[in-house]
Amino acid sequence: MFDPSKFAVNSPKSIPVLLLLDVSASMTEFCGNNDNIRKIKALNNALIEMIEGFRKAQTLETFIKVGIITFGSNVSLHTPLTPIGDLSELPLLFADGMTPLGGALSMAKEIVEDKSIFLSKDYRPVIILLSDGEPNDEWESPLQQFIGNGRSSKCDRLAIAFGKDANKNMLKYFIDGCENDLFYAEDASALYKVFKKITMSVSTRVTQKDKNQVFKIDVNLDDPTTY
């Protein structure tokens, strides 16, 4: 007698990627090293390339989901966690306001702990924090909660300091205990290289046997082959 359960197809699993992006007013400034491009435009461009890279990486068994939280004039869920195949053109990021990092971390914590959003069957999530300045709200406690308790503490955390004024100590605290060091992007070209390397690293996990394993990312900003 035919038993359909023996022929059941396993549903694909995902690697969730959640980006916390600083869109404060300082992101309207021009990038360093005489780049004729504003930080926010460089970030938009790098993000578009990242999404396209993730889109190309998906397989029948594994795909990437992407969500974006922005913090500037307010804290906003710019893009809910969405399968990469369902992501159409991303709305552009616009910069304004202060740097309410604590609010962004609290929102991220709530999302990661929600098992209806970050599914139990998902592989180890990636949380990427980018900032170009100093937080203006109470951020120490939300950061301690994020890296020290619950499901969020088990995520792979990456941090990017964009420009010379980024609070590097805070960003290093965010990645404490993780495999990768702080990425420092002084200008637009460096930001593209960092985003490209992160994209390649996450995409590689799609085809790895152990998709929960992460590796140290080597970003040599002086090597033209990394761009």
CATH code for position 157: 3.40.50.410
pLDDT of amino acid 14: 96
HSE-CB of 9 using CA atoms within 13 angstroms: 4
**Contact call for residues 62 and 15 (beta carbons, < 8 A):** yes
pLDDT of residue 42: 97
Q: Is the pLDDT of residue 223 over 80?
A: no
pLDDT-derived band at 227 (thresholds 50, 70, 90) equals very low
What does the pLDDT average to over 178-193?
95
pTM (predicted TM-score): 0.92
Residue 112 lies in a domain: no
Q: List Cα–Cα distances, 48 to 34, 36, 52, 148, in angstroms.
A: 23, 19, 6, 31
Res 219 pLDDT > 90: no
Name the 3-class secondary structure at 49.
helix
The helix (run of H) or strand (run of E) holding residue 184 is strand 183-185
Return the SS3 of 66.
strand
Q: Place 11 in a pLDDT band, splitting at 50, 70 and 90.
A: confident
Does residue 168 lie in a domain region? no
Q: Are 49 and 195 a contacting pair, CB within 8 Å?
A: yes
Q: Which residue has the higher pLDDT, 221 or 80?
A: 80
Parallel, antiparallel, or unpaired: how do β-strands 126-131 and 156-162 relate? parallel
86 domain-assigned: yes
Range with the largest mean pLDDT of 35-44, 66-75, 82-91: 66-75
**pLDDT the model gives residue 6:** 53
Provide the token pair at 98.
């202060």
Supply the mean pLDDT for the chain: 92
What beta strand segments (E) does 23-74 contain? 62-71
Residue 82 dihedral angles phi and psi, to the nearest 5°: -135, 135
pLDDT mean over 200-222: 88
Please state the rounded mean pLDDT for residues 43-59: 95
**Which structural domain, as residue segments, surrounds residue 49?**
13-92+131-163+178-226
What does R_g of the chain's alpha carbons equal in angstroms? 18
Give the residue among 184, 99, 96 at the shortest CA–CA distance from 139.
99
- Reported as a pLDDT band with limits 50, 70 and 90, residue 224 is very low
* Total domains, the chain: 1
Q: Report the share of the chain in percent with pLDDT over 70.
A: 91
- pLDDT score for 218: 86
Would you list the DSSP string of 200-216? HHHHHHHHSSSTT----
